[in-house]
Amino acid sequence: MEGEDEESDNPRAFGKAKLWQRMIIIVAGAFNNILLGLVLMCVLVVQEPVYASTTIESFHENAKSSTQGLQVGDTLASIDGYAIYTARDFSFSLATMKTDSPDIQVYRDGQLKDLGNIKFDTTTDSSGRKYIQLDFYVKPIEKNIGTVITQTFQQTYSVVRMIWASLIGLVTGQFSMNDISGPIGAAGAITEATSMGLETSFLNGLNNLIFMMMVISVNLGIFNMLPIPALDGGRFFFLLIEAVRRKPIPPKYEGIVHTVGFLILIAFMILVSFKDVMRLFSGEGFSGG
């Protein structure tokens, strides 16, 4: 925008706007990404006949977890420290953990209870990766206007938490560069997910596509607001500094910072895209990335 990275005499330039107006402009893009994610999630949620809760309704026959502390009526509160609010949180925590005996906390009779490590049976997929095999069923949530709205916001929030947890996991070493995909990998993952859905029905393929679009839209909104130079989050950080100093940082110096940040982001994108291309030629899939 005019006046964003340089001085401008235009009274309508970005730099001439009031501080609060510039803040709103900066966050508008990310806000619309999140809003689009909510709309797409609502499209998916409204199709479901009922919704899964996080309260145990019954166990499979010979369920291992029922012999180690879990009981019917327990509401899952956290798994290995990851708070559980929706069934999507539950699935994400199980899919990313490195153990088959996670530490589980539940709400029982209105009280938070730490059950310690609960061991589950595991299953192995075609790639050799082990997953926890659930041995219980959860209570359904009746579908009505209220639960559709609630589930739309809750499940979108769960996706936001998944993205943040993934970013933190990348920084802490829980995930590696092999778990990251750029535009090429994202296109490959969308194609794979849509194709898998189309194997059963056109609607499943379309819903898989909508879900991937929702995740990407929310992902863009969150990533763009990180306090990294060249991103909107970096620009918002400079506005916060201006609010504290009560005067803006000279555009020349801010522009230098954003230029350096942009070059670093481009280099990172090239690296990730190179890995995507290598994965494409090696025949590996993108669904796990």
* Number of folded domains that form the chain: 2
* Model pLDDT for residues 209-237, shown as the tens digit of each residue: 899 899 889 888 988 888 888 889 988 99
Pick the more confident residue, 192 or 260.
260
Residue partners of 154: CB distance under 8 A and separation at least 6: 85, 86
* pLDDT, average across residues 238-262: 85
Number of other CB atoms surrounding residue 88 within 10 Å: 20
SS3 at position 93? helix
Do residues 131 and 156 share a domain?
no
- 174 confidence band (pLDDT: 50, 70, 90): low
- Specify whether 65 is located in the same domain as 193: no
Closest listed residue to residue 221, CA positions, set 44, 53, 27: 27
The mean pLDDT of 49-68, rounded to a whole number, is 89
Clarify whether residues 58 and 41 are in a common domain: no
Q: How far apart are CA 16 and CA 1, in angstroms?
A: 12
Answer yes or no: do 76 and 184 share one domain: no
Residue 108: strand pairing partners: 111
Distance between CA 123 and CA 128 in Å, rounded?
Answer: 9
Q: Distance between CA atoms of 197 and 207, rounded to whole angstroms? A: 8
Residue span of the structural domain in which 98 resides: 51-141
Query: Does the reported pTM lie above 0.85?
Result: no
